[in-house]
Structures are given as structure tokens and as C-alpha cells.
């Protein structure tokens, strides 16, 4: 029982046994104790808000940076209304220190697969069929200092999906908190076994046409302060130019190298305000991401990897064939064996002399 409740119960008990003057004194004491309790609670809340505003943004930026090392598969299924009909698509992201590639599969009717990639010499986009091994170049940029715009956009979108634990509803929390209209109205610790999360209630009321565009008008975020302040769940109020929306989301992760939260599943329930249940949407994103110690070689990020000729004038250093290394190794062993045999005979001859 909290201090304020104990104080009030104590007051009620003393009302029967005290004089009017004594009762006045006890009431004053009760008000004093209650005020002290409320003051302590308010200070604790303000301290938590300050800790959130100070600690969370740099942690989010750090997480975005480290999440770029993740690569692998991300799928999304969208269910509309109460029907069992769903749409499906997936993206696969691969990269090394100098190259990056996004493989997109829509899974919708006859829609083609797509590839967006760059290497140290050019960037390109393809459409076609992975199953049929049939591809057509749709974009090609030979300036290695300038990414083809469509390629750059698609690759950034894929990286944003992988960083979804600090980008609910595809909106960066770092950008949300930096807006002039952002206000924290309440902050408290909540139990979320095995962790203790921080629940942030906030408002971000602003005209829907304000730039830069941000549909989030307010809501609640449940964040993990022990793990980059990533968003474990939340409820958002959104306003688009032509409609309002409510979103509830839940994210699940596993602990990767150096305790980096690696997303496993992200669920989002979307409801357009004033629309029937048939307009509701359920989004399920599932991830199979890895932190690779050995990165893919550059030849996986070229047109040759998709059975297409390289652009005019582009050549790649061919790796030494495996059979050549094997042959050289065999020759070295023969030479070593012959040398050891000669030394053995020489030592034997000296011993006999």
C-alpha cells in the first residue's frame, strides 16, 4: 500500500479519538505526507522523461548503424479484413563492405522479380524471373561515384525494414522525437517479463500537410532501455491527408552478436477510423537475418551473376582456378619429398664414411 493511502487510513482512524484541534493537526500531517508522496512521484516521472530524451536518440542512431551489418531474408504478409486472403512478398538483402544487392519477390500473380544492386564499378536494376533464370536490365549507371536513383531508393527502403525495431510504421523514432510538436506527457516503468520496459505516452499534434511529412500524431511506445531503447510494442494515432488511422504493433527479436537485437517478427494491426472491419489490415513481417563473419565476394553483385554480359569495357579479375591451386600444391609436395629423400641419402652416406 502506498504512503498516501496509509496516511489517509491513519487519518480516518484518528477522527474518532481526537479533538477537533487534533484532527486538524492530523489532517495537515496527512496532506503534507500526501503532497510529499505526489512530489516524489512527479520528480521520478520527470527524471525518467529526461533519461528517455537524453539516452534514447543516440541509442537509436547506434542501432540503425549496427543493423546495417544484418543481411538475409525479410517477408511480409498482409491480410485484409476478416478474410483469409493474403498477399505475400519478400526481400533478400546481401552486402559486403563495397557492394550491396536487393532481391525482391512479389509473389503476386505474374509480377516479375526484381534486383537492385551496385558494385565498385556500376549500379543496376533488373526485372525478370528467378525460376526461369531470365533477366532484363531496366537501369544501369556506370558512374561508380553515383548510385542509380531507383537502386539507391530501393536499397534504403530494405535497410529501413531491417531497422524496424526503431522505425515502427516505417517512421524513424529519431526523426519523430526531433519534431517541434513532439511532447512526452507521461513516462513509467512497466513489467514485461523477463524485462522491464519504459512506457512513453506522447503527443505530436500537427497539420497533416506539414513538412517533412509525418503521419504520427501521438500514442504510446513501450521501449527497452537495456537494449538500444528499441520499441517492443506501441499504439499510434496517425493522420493522413484523407483519413485517420490507428495502429497497434508488436516486435519480437533475438539476441545477436554483442547483444544486438535482431528482428524475428514484427506485427502491425491497422484500422482506418470510421471504416468497416473489412478495411482493417494485419501486417506480418518475418525475418531470417544474420551477422556474417565472411562476406559475399564482389562477383555475386555483378550482371554476370545473373547470366548477363558485363557493360562494355568492364572486366573483373578472375579468381585462380581451384585445379591450379591443387596442381601447385601437388608439385610442391613432390619437390619437398624429393628434397627430403636427397637429404636422407646424403646423411646416410656421411654416416657410412
- The per-residue pLDDT string of the chain (353 residues; one tens digit each, 9 = 90 and over) reads 444 343 333 333 433 334 444 444 343 444 444 444 445 556 666 799 999 999 999 999 999 999 999 999 999 999 988 777 788 899 999 999 999 999 998 765 557 899 999 999 999 999 998 888 899 999 999 998 889 999 999 999 999 999 999 999 999 999 999 999 999 999 999 998 888 999 999 999 999 999 999 999 999 999 999 999 999 999 999 999 999 999 999 999 999 999 999 999 999 999 999 998 888 999 999 999 999 999 999 999 999 999 999 999 999 887 655 555 566 566 767 767 666 666 676 666 666 66
- Percent helix, strand and coil across the chain, each to the nearest 5: 35, 35, 30
Residue owning grid cell 529526461: 50
Using CA atoms, how far apart are residues 111 and 246, in angstroms rounded to an integer? Answer: 31
Query: How many C-alpha atoms does 157 have within 13 Å on its Cβ side?
Result: 12
Please provide the distance, in angstroms rounded to a whole number, between the alpha carbons at the two ends of the chain.
103
3-state secondary structure of 215: coil
**Per-domain residue ranges of the chain:** 3-55, 60-306
Q: How far is CA 9 from CA 12, 22, 175, in A?
A: 5, 16, 48
**Cis ω for the linkage preceding 103 (within 30 of 0):** no
Topology given in CATH for the domain delimited by 60-306: outer membrane lipoprotein receptor (LolB), chain A (2.50.20)
Amino acid at each position: 500500500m502506498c504512503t498516501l493511502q496509509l496516511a489517509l487510513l491513519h487519518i480516518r482512524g484518528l477522527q474518532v479519538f481526537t479533538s477537533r484541534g487534533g484532527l486538524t493537526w492530523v489532517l495537515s500531517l496527512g496532506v503534507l505526507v500526501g503532497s510529499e508522496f505526489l512530489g516524489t512521484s512527479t520528480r521520478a516521472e520527470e527524471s525518467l522523461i529526461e533519461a528517455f530524451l537524453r539516452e534514447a536518440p543516440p541509442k537509436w542512431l547506434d542501432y540503425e548503424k549496427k543493423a546495417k551489418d544484418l543481411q538475409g531474408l525479410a517477408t511480409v504478409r498482409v491480410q485484409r479484413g476478416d478474410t483469409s486472403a493474403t498477399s505475400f512478398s519478400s526481400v533478400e538483402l546481401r552486402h559486403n563492405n563495397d557492394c550491396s544487392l536487393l532481391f525482391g519477390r512479389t509473389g503476386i500473380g505474374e509480377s516479375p522479380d526484381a534486383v537492385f544492386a551496385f558494385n565498385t564499378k556500376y549500379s543496376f536494376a533488373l526485372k525478370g524471373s528467378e525460376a526461369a533464370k531470365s533477366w532484363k536490365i531496366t537501369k544501369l549507371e556506370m558512374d561508380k561515384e553515383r548510385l542509380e536513383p531507383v537502386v539507391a531508393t530501393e536499397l534504403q527502403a530494405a535497410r529501413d525494414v531491417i531497422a524496424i525495431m526503431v522505425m515502427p510504421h516505417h517512421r524513424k523514432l529519431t526523426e519523430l522525437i526531433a519534431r517541434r510538436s513532439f511532447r512526452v506527457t507521461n513516462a513509467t516503468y512497466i513489467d514485461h517479463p523477463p524485462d522491464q520496459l519504459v512506457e512513453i505516452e506522447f503527443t505530436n499534434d500537427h497539420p497533416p500537410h506539414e513538412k517533412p511529412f509525418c503521419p504520427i500524431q501521438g500514442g504510446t511506445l513501450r521501449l527497452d532501455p537495456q537494449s538500444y531503447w528499441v520499441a517492443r510494442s506501441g499504439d499510434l494515432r496517425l493522420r493522413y491527408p484523407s483519413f485517420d488511422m490507428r495502429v497497434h504493433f508488436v516486435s519480437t527479436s533475438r539476441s545477436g552478436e554483442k547483444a544486438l537485437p535482431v528482428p524475428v517478427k514484427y506485427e502491425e494491426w491497422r484500422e482506418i477510423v470510421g471504416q468497416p472491419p473489412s478495411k482493417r489490415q494485419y501486417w506480418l513481417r518475418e525475418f531470417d537475418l544474420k551477422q556474417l563473419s565472411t562476406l559475399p565476394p564482389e562477383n555475386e553483385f555483378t550482371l554476370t551473376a545473373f547470366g548477363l554480359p558485363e557493360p562494355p569495357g568492364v572486366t573483373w579479375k578472375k579468381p585462380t582456378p581451384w585445379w591450379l591451386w591443387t596442381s601447385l600444391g601437388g608439385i610442391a609436395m613432390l619437390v619437398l619429398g624429393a628434397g627430403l629423400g636427397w637429404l636422407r641419402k646424403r646423411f646416410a652416406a656421411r654416416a657410412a664414411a
